[in-house]
Amino acid sequence: MKVLIVSDTHGHDENLERAVMTGITRVSKESVFSDLNNLAVITTTSEQYADCFGFTEEEVFSALDAFGMSEKKQIVKQWYDGFIFGQRRGIYNPWSITNYLKEKKLKPYWAATSSNALISKLIQTASADMKKQMERLLNGELITVSFDEQVVFSQLEQDESAIWSLLVASGYLKVEDVEYRGMTLEPWYHLNITNLETVSMFSNMFKGWFAPVASNYNEFIRALLEGNVKAMNLYMNDVALATFSSFDVGKYVSERTQPERFYHGFVLGLIVDLADKYRITSNKESGLGRYDVMMEPLVENLDGIIIEFKVRNPAKEKDLEASVQNALCQIREKKYDTELETRGISLERIRHYGFAFEGKKVLIGSDAS
């Protein structure tokens, strides 16, 4: 949310002293050469009006008491609290709270009021690095990024960091802290997902990426859990063929970055769909290097899984099978099993998979295949 306060300092209209405009991104026509250039912009990190953008915790708890729902305070806090304006914490979403008091059901009221199509497309076509950051957020971690908090709408498709500005301004992410680095005091923002309602929004968004091939995608998940490599190959190729282009950013995407955009989108889908069975992390240190994906079981009867992705290098690998074997060799040589072993999972219960990409073609292999 952004609030712009416009003062009529030049006396053009004797009946207008000031006006308030609310919105998400900054007014695009504002400039020193425009008539609209005398704006005070209030963002989520501004101190002004910090307690005016939502209900305070005192107001929400008082309302719950009045409605005979005092025992729901903590779960309501997890779902609808989390908004931070300036230094003021404990701000609740008013739309969600009023609807919850009326319906008495926990669900994403506010996130359901818009399609989130723009945000979904921007993240889906974003770089692998941005998707990795989203993976960290989904796993409950804070990320630290730099961006222009007062970005204008036209910059969203030109400057990838502007996506963070949009996510903060729209309330899906919150600023836990801001630090200023270097001689120019460049702001770096420590971000977190706002609350369970926005976690739900992101989950539905990432599932939606594979909705056109939901049947094949679900069959792939089943084959992965069962260790059926033949079925994994069949369904993953169907999924890649149908959805690969939706992760493109244009006709100049390189043969190497295009698969990375796809498979990190795929990892986000896994994190959402298998949240009750696995803790899924990517690009973390284990053994002598950094694995691509590690799936740590949360249920006793499930195996641990390590996945390494490779984009075929024609100069070094004669075919996709060679790329798969290089991926599996890397898992073994770099001892990526180490982290799972330290958590009590024996080597006999850890499966290795190599995913090799060439264009829209995918080949999956395992140590057991």
Beta bridge partners of 188: 179
168 inside domain: yes
SS3 of 212, please? Answer: helix
190 inside domain: yes
353 inside domain: yes
Q: Which domain holds residue 146?
A: 114-204
48 inside domain: no
Percent of the chain with pLDDT over 70: 83
Q: Total domain count for the chain?
A: 4
The whole-model pTM stands at 0.78
Please give the full DSSP string across 49-95, using - where no structure is assigned. Answer: TTTSSSEEHHHHHHHHHHTT-GGGHHHHHHHH--EEETTEEEEE-HH
Q: Are residues 268 and 134 in the same domain?
A: no
Q: Are residues 38 and 184 in the same domain?
A: no
What is the C-alpha to C-alpha distance for residues 136 and 121, in angstroms, rounded to an integer? 19
SS3 of 308, please? Answer: strand
Q: How confident is the model at residue 137 (pLDDT cuts 50, 70, 90)?
A: very high
47 inside domain: no
- pLDDT of the residue at 34: 52
H-run or E-run covering 238: helix 229-243
Q: Are residues 10 and 128 in the same domain?
A: no
SS3 of 173, please? Answer: strand
**Mean pLDDT, range 247-264, rounded to an integer:** 63
Q: pLDDT by residue (tens digit) across 294-338?
A: 999 998 889 999 999 998 888 889 999 999 999 999 999 999 999
